Structure 1
Amino acid sequence: MTPSAATALTPDTCPLYVDLDGTLTPGDTLYESVMLFIRRNPFNLLRMMGWLLLGKAGFKQRLAGAVRPDPARLPYHERFLQFLREERARGRTLVLASAADARIVREVAAHLQLFDDTLGTNAQGDGLNLSRANKRDAIAAHARAHGHSTWAYAGNSRDDIAVWQGSAQAVAVNAPPGVIAALQQVHPQARVFAREPLRLKTVLRAIRLKQWSKNGLLFVPLLAAHSLDPRLWATVAVAFVAFGLCASATYLFNDLLDLPNDRAHRIKRHRPLASGAIGIPVAVALGVVMLTLAFVLAFAVSGGFAAMLLAYTVTTLAYSIYLKRLALIDVLVLSGLYTLRIGAGAVAAGVDLSNWLLAISIFLFLSLALVKRCAELEELDDHRSVLAPGRGYQPRDLASLRAMGMASGFLAVMVLALYIDSQNSQALYARPDWLWGAAPVLLLWVMRIWLKTGRRELSGEDPLQFALRDPFSWMTLLAMGGIGLLATIGF
């Protein structure tokens, strides 16, 4: 009997065996587990390298024994999931069959409550990794044991072609074009749930291209020094690109390590990695390439700037892995990373960095970091008293954090006021007294952003993102720039 005839004659009620990784969920539970294990302790990466000697089944057993992803926080293919619900309502037998560790497979099945049975890799049983021919044979044996001579299979990858060759019916979910072409040679009438193409817009969202605006701080030392040298501006422009690539890479690594918490967040669950729009291997490869390019450009600027970029990278990764969970330490680190950008710009341009500028930036960015934490806590239900996901804060900390944040913002304005009569301002500005006009403008902006935080009016999760979309913030920036220009030319 030809495959097409078998497909046509097989009733739709034959048991359907469903793959997990890449099919039921767009991600891979093995990669999810690896990231969870690294997040627990970065040195676990060395332990996993040793486990590779145990073979695929042994590696999966050790890893699943140490950590397993929460099924409730995994992304799922909703259209395919709805299809499975309809098939189960019709009385069809559904079995979750995966090369993932058997414990992970059982936990996912228990969460979804759609499957009658499960098959998974069990190193303590036959020791076989349940993929390709091993999966096909295990499914065939399971079907015969339950009185079925035919069975159907839903998969997504080239490894599944061997399984489809033994099935009477086939379903392809999120499969690449090459796999679908090979499948249709065996099952011309296979049902296909189309793969969502990876769009440039999705990649740009993943690397957070909008966040590159923060790296505009690298140009602040040139502005503060009143330098118009085009060579210095070109050098800092290269530094800007290097910092952007590095920051995007660290954002990817941060999202990889924070997947479970992002999926529990109202806004962050829509990020490309959290939603499964971009896979973990793609994100890792993209991050490595971007980080490599960043340091190539950094060394082209100067060794000192490369050292600053290395300090930023190490601090950011430490923040992603551990420091972000420490109350108060996290906001100090965030404000320090903003200020480090200003320092890196000064190193790239070869200009002196004013202590006044450093003081203003530290206080102002600490205030903005506390705005971000307060905005996150404001989103929690009033009755909820547990820690915010992945953070070291509780809703009852909100009043204290708000007081600290407003005080820090006011201190930034006070430092600006003290700077006006300093020797630095006298040397740089023809009419430094004009700078008094900048103090109330900055004060108004600080008070306004804190007022909007209390009213839960910040759009997005970051105060700088809000500022970029806020006309008043742009008017504030233009007003302060105009005041600085008047003070410079001595109008």
Structure 2
Amino acid sequence: MDARSDVRTVPLCVDLDGTLIATDTLWEALALLLLRRPWMILAAIYWAMQGKQVLKREVAFRSEREPADWPYRDAVLTLIRNARAEGRPVWLVTGAAEKTATGIASHLGLFDRVLHSDDCENLTATRKRNRLIAECGEGGFDYVGNSRDDLKVFDAARKSMIVQPDRAARSWGEANGGTFVDTGRVSRIALFKAIRVHQWLKNMLIGVPLVLDHEWANPVALAAVIGAFFSFSFFASAVYILNDIIDLGNDRRHARKRFRPIAAGAVSIPVALAVAASLLVASIGIAGLLSPFYWLTLALYGVTTTAYTFVLKRKLLVDVFTLAGLYTLRIMAGAMAIDSELSFWLLAFSIFFFLSLALVKRFVELDETEIDMGEKLNGRSYLGSDKAMVAQGGVSSAFASALVLALYINSDHVQSMYSAPWLIWPLCPIILYMLLRIWILAGRSQMHDDPVVFIMRDWRSQATMAVGAALVIIATLH
């Protein structure tokens, strides 16, 4: 009897990139390498000129990715375990470099053999097909793949299983009776989630100087603020994407951040980088229509947020002061866009207010992560024992922001700008109510790790802000 007539002797051959894991190991490792060490671009070009297999080998050798860091597909792991339970051999057959492939195979402990690219051959497409035919014979293996590169292998397999297919693989499967493996729906708005459109709410701070200067009816100033809003938003979204790529390892070990589109593999690294580049071009193009001082503010934001991404976010307390400063830079950008004079009181209030919110983020991270008192928070410089001090600093900053606001309301500047300044005094308890409520809910573990997202979803916070805005308008028109 032909050995292939017994299904238990037919190996299940599983592709790696896009199949077993929801990302591409080369793209991810290369992007991380060049973002952290951009001077390596010339070396990467040289490796690529020697052949893709050389590029894969050299990038894998320098990769900081651990096997546990990759986003494995549960449905494919289940498929593999079921095959092993039936007594079938399971092979990992991939175009990835030896270091990557063997590391993953060793980590999972589910594969009987590992076939991978080497110094002579990039094991993809036709080369992978020929290698499997040489090993198993035509139709002597089952294959699990996902992309156009796998079509030749599908043709030679006894049975083909298709995971999250691209357009070519889907068409092949529908035409040739391939089996589609259900890995769950991919959100159609994954790209919008990746650029974090909801975070654009922060950039409404750009309009604060316009409102405080009572220039909302000035069409020129209003157009400048709208342009600055989109310029800043596009720039910030590009930074979010780059930050998510750099932080992939930490995000995948986080309870919620592992579901972010790039970390989960819902948005590929090439697409993410292309979108980030497009957003940067659009941001700079809009900025070119605005004041040169706005340009300088946007450049300062870029330098600061880059420093935060690579260095400052891992420094104790420096990270939260930087976040507070980045919020304040948004207000400065709005002032620069309309050539408004910056108020000392406004900047002081902003620093204390947003320092409180930044400390909320760290408090929630410490509260939700199960670490010992002397253990360091992943990717940060905070210990488990720092939670109480972080809370004290955040609540103190909340009261300081209300105090600065009270002093500002009592200043000669406000007295001269508002016909009924007493109407804006309630802003002080309103600000305290909003911040203290956030801190109380954080202490009860009832808040999202990003207070801005929480405010967007919380009707009480929205009502509080609406009342505050109404008071300012009424005091202006009274």
TM-score (norm: length of structure 1):
0.90
Q: Is the 8 A contact 2:203 2:330 kept in 1?
A: yes
The aligned amino acid for 1:128 is E
1:49 counterpart = 2:45: yes
In structure 2, distance between residues paired with 1:437 and 1:37: 52
SS of residue paired to 2:116: strand
In structure 1, distance between residues paired with 2:102 and 2:142: 20
- Alignment partner, residue 130 of structure 2: 137
In structure 2, distance between residues paired with 1:316 and 1:80: 38
- What is the aligned counterpart of 1:260 among 246, 249, 262? 249
In structure 1, distance between residues paired with 2:289 and 2:7: 66
User: Counterparts in 2 of 1:86-485, with a 5 A limit?
Assistant: 86-123=82-119, 127-143=120-136, 150-182=140-172, 188-193=176-181, 199-227=187-215, 228-381=217-370, 383=372, 385-458=374-447, 460-485=448-473
Structure 1 residues 172, 449: CA separation in 2 closer, same or farther (over 3 Å shift)? closer
Structure 1 unaligned residues grouped into runs of 5+: 1-5
Residue-by-residue CA offset, 1:416-456 (whole Å, 9 max, x unaligned): 12112322112212233443332222222222222222221
In structure 2, distance between residues paired with 1:362 and 1:233: 25
Shift of 1:385: 3.8
Shift of 1:198: 5.7
The aligned amino acid for 1:181 is S
In structure 1, distance between residues paired with 2:185 and 2:166: 9
**More deviation, 91-100/350-359:** 350-359
- Alignment partner, residue 65 of structure 1: 61
In structure 1, distance between residues paired with 2:117 and 2:20: 17
Shift of 1:382: 5.6
Q: Is the 8 A contact 1:33 1:63 kept in 2?
A: yes
Shift of 1:62: 1.6
- Alignment partner, residue 30 of structure 1: 26
Residue-by-residue CA offset, 1:128-181 (whole Å, 9 max, x unaligned): 11122322233334447xxx9822322222222233343333222222232343
SS of residue paired to 1:95: strand
SS of residue paired to 1:129: coil
TM-score (norm: length of structure 2):
0.92
- Alignment partner, residue 3 of structure 1: none
In structure 2, distance between residues paired with 1:62 and 1:374: 40
SS of residue paired to 1:121: coil
In structure 2, distance between residues paired with 1:445 and 1:16: 57
Aligned-residue identity in percent: 38
In structure 1, distance between residues paired with 2:66 and 2:326: 32
Structure 1 residues 450, 131: CA separation in 2 closer, same or farther (over 3 Å shift)? same
Q: Is the 8 A contact 2:173 2:179 kept in 1?
A: no
SS of residue paired to 1:99: coil
Structure 1 residues 401, 354: CA separation in 2 closer, same or farther (over 3 Å shift)? same
In structure 2, distance between residues paired with 1:196 and 1:452: 33
Structure 1 residues 442, 177: CA separation in 2 closer, same or farther (over 3 Å shift)? closer
In structure 2, distance between residues paired with 1:282 and 1:170: 27
**More deviation, 285-294/154-163:** 154-163
- Alignment partner, residue 78 of structure 2: 82
Shift of 1:391: 1.4
The aligned amino acid for 2:307 is A
**More deviation, 245-254/89-98:** 245-254
Q: Is the 8 A contact 2:126 2:153 kept in 1?
A: yes
Shift of 1:266: 1.0
Structure 2 unaligned residues grouped into runs of 5+: none
In structure 2, distance between residues paired with 1:489 and 1:223: 13
**More deviation, 374-383/356-365:** 374-383
The aligned amino acid for 1:93 is P
The aligned amino acid for 1:232 is A
Residue-by-residue CA offset, 1:215-253 (whole Å, 9 max, x unaligned): 110110011111121331122112212222222121111
Q: Is the 8 A contact 1:246 1:291 kept in 2?
A: yes
Shift of 1:265: 0.8
Structure 1 residues 196, 203: CA separation in 2 closer, same or farther (over 3 Å shift)? farther
SS of residue paired to 1:153: strand
Structure 1 residues 341, 488: CA separation in 2 closer, same or farther (over 3 Å shift)? same
Structure 1 residues 322, 335: CA separation in 2 closer, same or farther (over 3 Å shift)? same
Structure 1 residues 49, 197: CA separation in 2 closer, same or farther (over 3 Å shift)? farther
In structure 1, distance between residues paired with 2:186 and 2:75: 18
The aligned amino acid for 2:96 is A
The aligned amino acid for 2:110 is L
Q: Is the 8 A contact 2:402 2:428 kept in 1?
A: yes
Shift of 1:208: 1.0
Work out the number of aligned pairs and report it: 475
Residue-by-residue CA offset, 1:306-358 (whole Å, 9 max, x unaligned): 33223223322222222211121111111111111111111112222211111
Q: Is the 8 A contact 1:161 1:183 kept in 2?
A: no
Q: Is the 8 A contact 1:299 1:305 kept in 2?
A: no
The aligned amino acid for 1:288 is A
Q: Is the 8 A contact 1:10 1:168 kept in 2?
A: no
In structure 2, distance between residues paired with 1:379 and 1:287: 30
